[in-house]
Amino acid sequence: MAVRSDNLAFRRREILGMLSAFGLSFSLPAMSHAAARRRRDERPKTLITLWMNGGMSQLESWDPHPGSATGGEVKSIATSVPDLQISEFLPQMAEQMHNVTLIRSLTSLEGDHARGASFVKTGYRPDPTLVYPSLGAILASELPDDSVEIPQHVSLGSDQFFPRGGYLGNQWDAFRVFDPGRSLTNLSAGVSETRLQRRADGLSVMSKQFAAGRPTADRDTQHADTVRRALRMMSSEQLKAFELDDEPAAVRAAYGDSRFGRGCLVARRLVEVGVRAIEVSLNGFDTHANNHDGQKVQCDVLDPAFATLLTELQDRDLLDSTIVLCITEFGRTPRINPAGGRDHWPHWFSCVVAGGGFRKGLVIGATDPNSDGDGKNKPRPDDPVTVPELYATIMDVMGVDWDEERITPIGRPMRFADGSPLPHLLEPATGHSARSWHSLRREPQHLRGSRKASETSNDADFCLRFHADLKNSSAPPLIASRFPRRNTTLPPEENNAKEDIVLIV
């Protein structure tokens, strides 16, 4: 893999600046939205998940309520988005908020670490009869790239809840790197290339003899395929993506000299190679005691790494083809306990999504600063978003059929996502699958333009009026239709089938 050195290569804008000083111009016509979209769609798409292990507090990060009964000691600061404030613990990310979508109304029913992590990593509540694949495993299996010689699903700084292949097969489990940026173990032969080849030839003879009478066992164990992929990886130049020796010291310092900081830098290098799904873990958010200081310690690690990752992806023209998702298994309680901590709170929490066609500077949802979290006062947040809906949106953007059913090893048909995409999270120019839609019931009020309150009471009538208004315009025709929708992540009392009014473009 060719790695660019900032010490040896001029940046594009520096070269253009030098040429312009001599009166030369290489200006090009502005790229149309359609051309920009085609260029983005032609690139291999990647997902980077920044996993905040332990339950990141939304109140000390993305959704502070200073001065309220639930706000605690944290203060809020202004961001690059007017009227949007986040925690003082994230000053560098405050300057990046115009590049991200902030969701403050993510919901879950799982308040246990293992169950919560399983749900958020897969989009399905845990089931003892079936292991679900993580989002990264689905993307890697559905979007293979033979030019990538290293694993296409990677976990950096992996914790005990590492992303798994589930019913797709163990071959889609994440390749785990516990200390990113340091030397990888068990990937050098320790012998000469000639001797390694002799060993591989001998193993091949034994493997063929084993497979001759046991075709089913050979297939089920995946032994031969595992050996083939391991040998290919050991000899690949792409392994250098896991190393940081050739990165400038200033770049490494910008990410931060921590396991998570190095992991984010390695993640950027893996994107450049073409790895499909990458997870970087940051532990330490389970602050049942001394919540304020504990959350600050972890945010001090997250802030420079996250902000630098977004900056570098954008500078290298990679952000449009890379989705960066910062998420956790649940939030923390509004009420502060006697030990100065916050406990588990799945009823609403926050996540941040950037790149890949997600809207920039968008804020979804709002939470009640007066909810005391005592077990009695648990109102739902405004504009709630479920994890399955978010993941269906990500799959749709990346070109994966989120609605596809797979027959699991126990004969059970399962969809990749137990929800539907939310196009209002995406930039208008973002391309979707042929089945994409705009759900008016899910559309936030501020995106509905000049619709009056009386008009929103009957979405079907609005669809027909909207279609009539556009009949003589240059916009594409719209079709109004209804379909039943059932969300299995809602509580039983709210889990009745609902009808969505959709506009199919």
Q: Are the beta carbons of 268 and 255 closer than 8 angstroms?
A: no
> Based on the domain organization, do 357 and 226 belong to the same domain?
no
Domain end (from 434, 456, 482): 434
> Based on the domain organization, do 90 and 194 belong to the same domain?
no
CA distance 260 to 283: 9
Report phi then psi at 189, rounded to 5: -70, -35
pLDDT higher than 70, residue 371: yes
> Based on the domain organization, do 154 and 210 belong to the same domain?
no
> Based on the domain organization, do 135 and 221 belong to the same domain?
no
Average pLDDT for 78-89: 97
> Based on the domain organization, do 270 and 364 belong to the same domain?
yes
Average pLDDT for 311-333: 97
Domain end (from 242, 271, 290): 242
> Based on the domain organization, do 312 and 349 belong to the same domain?
yes
Query: What pLDDT does 206 receive?
Result: 77
Q: In the structure, what pLDDT confidence band is assigned to residue 434 with cuts at 50, 70 and 90?
A: very low
Average pLDDT over the chain reads 79
Helix (H) or strand (E) holding 327: strand 322-328
> Based on the domain organization, do 53 and 156 belong to the same domain?
yes
Give pLDDT tens digits for 480-489.
Answer: 333 333 344 4
Q: What percent of the chain has pLDDT over 70?
A: 73
DSSP 187-254: -S-SS-HHHHHHHHHHHHHHHHHHHHH-HHHHHHHTHHHHHHHHHHHHT-GGGGGGB-TTS-HHHHHH
Does 30 map to a domain? no
CA distance 197 to 186: 17
| Of residues 36 and 182, more confidently modeled | 182
User: Token pair for residue 496?
Assistant: 């009745």
Long-range interactions of 32-40: CB distance < 8 A, separation 24+: 33/429, 34/429, 36/320, 36/429, 37/429, 37/430, 37/431, 39/320, 40/320, 40/321, 40/357
pLDDT higher than 90, residue 373: no
Which of 31-35, 101-105, 255-259, 325-329 has the least mean pLDDT? 31-35
Q: In the structure, what pLDDT confidence band is assigned to residue 140 with cuts at 50, 70 and 90?
A: very high
CA distance 357 to 230: 34
Query: Taken in order 422, 424, 425, 431, is the CA torsion positive or negative?
Result: positive
pLDDT higher than 60, residue 73: yes
> Based on the domain organization, do 306 and 236 belong to the same domain?
no
- What's the one-letter identity of residue 493? E
> Based on the domain organization, do 287 and 216 belong to the same domain?
no
Does 478 map to a domain? yes
Helix axes 259-273, 291-315, angle to 10 degrees: 30
Query: What pLDDT does 376 receive?
Result: 57
Q: In the structure, what pLDDT confidence band is assigned to residue 208 with cuts at 50, 70 and 90?
A: confident
pLDDT higher than 70, residue 429: no
Does 26 map to a domain? no
Please enumerate in sequence order all residues whose Cβ is within 8 A of that of 465, keeping only pairs 6 or more positions apart, or say none. 455
Does 326 map to a domain? yes
Domain end (from 380, 399, 434): 434
Average pLDDT for 122-144: 96
Q: In the structure, what pLDDT confidence band is assigned to residue 230 with cuts at 50, 70 and 90?
A: confident
Average pLDDT for 293-303: 98
Report phi then psi at 313, rounded to 5: -60, -40
Does 341 map to a domain? yes
> Based on the domain organization, do 161 and 63 belong to the same domain?
yes
Average pLDDT for 79-102: 98
Average pLDDT for 441-456: 37
> Based on the domain organization, do 179 and 198 belong to the same domain?
no
Q: In the structure, what pLDDT confidence band is assigned to residue 325 with cuts at 50, 70 and 90?
A: very high
| Of residues 307 and 215, more confidently modeled | 307
> Based on the domain organization, do 235 and 151 belong to the same domain?
no
Query: What pLDDT does 205 receive?
Result: 80
Which of 41-55, 158-172, 453-467 has the least mean pLDDT? 453-467
Q: In the structure, what pLDDT confidence band is assigned to residue 82 with cuts at 50, 70 and 90?
A: very high
Q: Count how many domains the chain has.
A: 3
| Of residues 422 and 218, more confidently modeled | 422
Does 472 map to a domain? yes
Query: What pLDDT does 457 receive?
Result: 36
Give pLDDT tens digits for 144-164.
Answer: 999 999 999 999 998 788 999
Average pLDDT for 476-499: 39
Report phi then psi at 218, rounded to 5: -65, -40
pLDDT higher than 60, residue 478: no
Q: Are the beta carbons of 54 and 114 closer than 8 angstroms?
A: no
| Of residues 231 and 81, more confidently modeled | 81
- What's the one-letter identity of residue 65? H
Domain that holds residue 263: 43-183+256-434
Query: What pLDDT does 428 receive?
Result: 86
Does 20 map to a domain? no
Q: In the structure, what pLDDT confidence band is assigned to residue 44 with cuts at 50, 70 and 90?
A: confident
Give pLDDT tens digits for 453-472.
Answer: 333 334 333 333 333 343 34
Asked whether the whole model's pTM tops 0.85, one would answer: no
Does 441 map to a domain? yes
pLDDT higher than 70, residue 14: no
